[in-house]
């Protein structure tokens, strides 16, 4: 039987306080993020230690604050499994014991869904750490670290593992510092300023001016922009008349700019 570390004092929401017994307050196994468990009904409630302090009474008491993490439950005839969330909270006075290696193996077992191993637990290097691919990609996440700590390498390995498990997936990497080209090799289609092609219909008039109007003073550029606007407007009129009322207006703009580029329309300014 596991040796009792202490007993539950109070349970409030997602936390419980534990009064330590004996001399366990000085053991490293009861440090922050260490795991403990309490038997409740037909399951083991698992908690993570988040704080340790000593209350100064006539007889000093060592108190643990633990965050309730989940439950180890039996699945019929199958093996034990861990699930997040607590359905049966411990009661005051219930004995508290430390989580065993077998418990940790159940808690951190590879999930049945698509997952990627990213390393080991900080407080227990023998336990692998996984992330669920769907849960990871359906929300925002950040990889943090100091300069040279390996953030880009970690992202490359993570994406490579995801692509190995999902070979038909499409990943867009915005890489302003050109860090990932070598990492993915022929598996990546690299798009840069030398090979990027954008259709004219993608731009509004202001963006078209920024692309087509070049050189000259500010006054000359303003005059060119006015000429360009007038030319595009006049070029679109016949296309508008030929299109049905429910036609796609973007196609008219694309045809207009294509006509200007091919020389069907001529830009001419006075003076």
CA-to-CA separations, 258 to 144, 252, 261, in angstroms, rounded: 46, 10, 5
164 pLDDT exceeds 70? yes
Model confidence over 241-261: pLDDT tens digits? 665 555 555 454 455 455 444
Rounded distance, CA 143 to CA 11, Å?
34
267 within some domain: no
Q: Give buried/exposed letters for 70-92 (b at 16+ CB in 10 A, else e).
A: bbbbeeeeeeeebeeebeebbee
Domain residues for 23? 6-107
44 pLDDT exceeds 70? yes
Same domain (yes/no): 213, 250: yes
Identify which of 188, 115, 114, 118 has the alpha carbon closest to the alpha carbon of residue 153.
118
Domain boundary residue among 137, 152, 187?
187
Read off the CATH number of the domain in which 93 is found.
2.40.10.170
Give me the pLDDT at residue 50, please: 92
121 pLDDT exceeds 90? no
223 within some domain: yes
Same domain (yes/no): 210, 229: yes
Model confidence over 7-43: pLDDT tens digits? 999 998 899 999 988 765 445 567 888 899 999 888 9
Give me the pLDDT at residue 182, please: 85
Give me the pLDDT at residue 117, please: 86
Identify which of 149, 150, 192, 148 has the alpha carbon closest to the alpha carbon of residue 174.
192
60 within some domain: yes
270 within some domain: no
3-state secondary structure of 33: coil
Rounded to whole angstroms, the maximal C-alpha distance in the chain is 99
Percent of the chain with pLDDT over 70: 82
Same domain (yes/no): 14, 95: yes
Which residues on adjacent β-strands are paired with residue 173? none
Q: Read off the pLDDT of each residue in 112-129 and give the average, rounded to a whole number.
A: 81
Q: How confident is the model at residue 168 (pLDDT cuts 50, 70, 90)?
A: confident
Identify which of 157, 70, 138 has the alpha carbon closest to the alpha carbon of residue 108.
70
The Cα angle at residue 108 between residues 183 and 157, in degrees rounded to 5: 0
Give me the pLDDT at residue 94, please: 93
242 within some domain: yes
Domain boundary residue among 161, 187, 213?
187
Helix (H) or strand (E) holding 107: helix 101-107
Rounded distance, CA 162 to CA 137, Å?
10
H, E, C per residue of 211-265: HHCCCCCHHHHHHHHHHHHHHHHHHHHHHHHHCCCCCCHHHHHHHHHHHHHHCCC
233 within some domain: yes
Same domain (yes/no): 17, 89: yes
Same domain (yes/no): 120, 85: no
Same domain (yes/no): 212, 257: yes
Q: Read off the pLDDT of each residue in 132-137 and give the average, rounded to a whole number.
A: 86
* Cut 0.85: pTM above it: no
Model confidence over 193-252: pLDDT tens digits? 788 887 777 778 888 888 888 888 989 999 999 998 888 788 777 766 665 555 555 454
Report the number of distinct structural domains present in the chain: 3
193 within some domain: no
Question: 51 and 85 in contact (C-beta within 8 Å)?
Answer: no
Same domain (yes/no): 131, 98: no
């Amino acid at each position: 039987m596991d040796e009792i570390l202490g007993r539950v004092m109070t349970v409030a929401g997602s936390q419980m306080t534990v009064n330590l017994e004996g001399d366990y307050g000085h053991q490293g196994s009861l440090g922050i993020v260490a795991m403990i468990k309490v038997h409740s009904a037909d399951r083991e409630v698992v908690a993570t230690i988040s704080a340790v302090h000593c209350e100064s009474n006539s007889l000093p008491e060592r108190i643990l604050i633990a965050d309730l993490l989940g439950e180890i439950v039996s699945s019929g005839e199958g093996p034990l499994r861990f699930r997040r969330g607590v359905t049966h909270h411990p009661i005051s006075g219930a004995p508290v014991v430390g989580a065993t290696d077998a418990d940790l193996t159940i808690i951190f077992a590879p999930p049945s869904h698509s997952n990627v191993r990213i390393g080991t637990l900080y407080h227990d290097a023998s336990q692998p750490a996984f992330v669920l691919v769907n849960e990871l990609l359906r929300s925002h996440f950040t990889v943090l670290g100091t300069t040279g700590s390996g953030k880009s390498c970690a992202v490359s390995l993570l994406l490579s593992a995801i692509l190995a498990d999902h070979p038909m997936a499409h990943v867009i990497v915005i890489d302003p510092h050109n860090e990932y080209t070598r990492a993915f090799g022929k598996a990546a289609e690299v798009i840069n300023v030398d090979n990027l092609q954008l259709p004219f219909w993608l731009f509004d008039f202001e963006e078209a001016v920024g692309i087509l109007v070049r050189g000259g003073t500010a006054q000359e550029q303003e005059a060119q922009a006015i000429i360009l606007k007038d030319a595009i407007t006049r070029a679109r009129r016949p296309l508008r008349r030929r299109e049905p009322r429910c036609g796609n207006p973007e196609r008219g703009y694309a045809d207009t700019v294509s006509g200007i580029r091919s020389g069907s329309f001529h830009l001419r300014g006075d003076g």
